[in-house]
Chains A and B, each alone.
Chain A
Amino acid sequence: MKTRLKELRAREGMNQTELAKRAKVSRQTVSLIEREEFVPSLLIAVRMARIFNEPIESIFIFEEEELK
């Protein structure tokens, strides 16, 4: 899974700590997701999509192979 989280965070001028607070997760979790080492739950994905006002699938991008 690829993610645009870092790019969107930069766009909003937000650091990881702020995003973590708004998404109600730890900064380590944000960091793990940004490093593409962890796939978040649907709940966290929805919260992040709302924070950036973007559809989930434009933030978390799956390869076609992963969806088969």
Chain B
Amino acid sequence: MKLIAQALMGAIVGFFATLAILKGDIALSLARFSFELNLFLLVAGALLIIGSTIYYFQFKQAAQKEVSGEEEDALDDWKYNRFSDISMAIHATLITNLLFTCTSTLTEQPLWMISISGLFLVISLVLSFIKPTLIRIMYPERSFPSPNDKDYSKKLMEISDEGERHVMLQGLYKSFNSVNSLLMLGILLLLFYSLASGASQLFGITVIAVILLFTNIQYILSVKGK
């Protein structure tokens, strides 16, 4: 897997580097396809909102079932997996609609398109806000912190047992490493895109570099001396 990722990274970087060297004046501007891109994001955003909402109501309905014995374990297992699916769908919805709002605004789309993107973003934020309530439905006997609590993440970690923390740690560590590698790849891509298109992406590169620096220092400082 690592080898494939490295080969893919090499291929992408190589492609853009060659392109930049051979055709320094090429305009790799997304502006030419901006309407189609926004239309694609509109459809994707709408589908994700519909999918997340259907999952949400399916989950609420299933959570009300009263079962016992092996069926109780199977239902709990289903709820746990479905909650993960809902979380993934809501994250994807929020990110897609944030991208949709940014592209529709920056590429000066018609007002109706910008309005829809704004509306989709608000719906995504509402979905993100109601997602934590599902944990209370899943585990009614446990006293979870309120989603409005400013220390929500910290308190959620405290209320989790050692098995749950073990699973979270594995996932977070894997994700942390992926984010590091992907953001570095992102910097390289932006560099070659800047060279190939002539449109400087220096601001974006700086922002990513600062985020990388901040998250890595934050991680080191939190494990240092413990």
Contacts and interface: CB of A to CB of B under 8 A. Distances in A.
Our verdict on whether A and B bind, yes or no, reads: yes
Interface of A: 15-17, 24-33, 38, 40-41, 44
B167 A27 contact: no
Given A15-B69, A15-B70, A32-B167, A27 B162 contact: no
Given A30-B163, A41-B162, 9 more contacts: A17-B72, A26-B163, A28-B163, A28-B167, A29-B161, A29-B162, A32-B166, A38-B166, A40-B162
Contacts of A40: 162-163
Nearest to A21: B141
- Among A25, A29, A31, max chain B CB count under 10 A is at A29
Nearest 6 CB-CB pairings of A with B? A29-B163, A16-B73, A25-B161, A32-B163, A17-B72, A15-B73
Contacts of A17: 72-73, 76
Contacts of B139: 26
Contact of A33 (B69, B70, B163): B163
20 contacts: A15-B68, A15-B72, A16-B73, A16-B76, A17-B73, A25-B161, A26-B160, A26-B163, A27-B73, A28-B80, A29-B161, A29-B162, A29-B163, A29-B164, A32-B166, A33-B163, A38-B163, A40-B163, A41-B162, A44-B162
A28 B164 contact: yes
A50 to B, nearest CB: 17
A39 B132 CA distance: 28
Q: Tell me what chain A mostly uses at the interface: helix, strand, loop, or mixed.
A: helix
Interface string B62-74: 0000001110110
Interface of B: 68-70, 72-73, 76-77, 80, 139, 160-164, 166-167
A27 B161 contact: no
Contacts of B70: 15
A29 to B, nearest CB: 3
A26 B144 CA distance: 14
A31 B161 CA distance: 13
Nearest to A32: B163
A26 B73 contact: no
A64 B34 CA distance: 64
A17 B160 CA distance: 16
- Among A15, A16, A24, A44, max chain B CB count under 10 A is at A15
A29 B161 CA distance: 8
A12 to B, nearest CB: 13
A17 B71 CA distance: 10
Contact of A25 (B72, B80, B163): B163
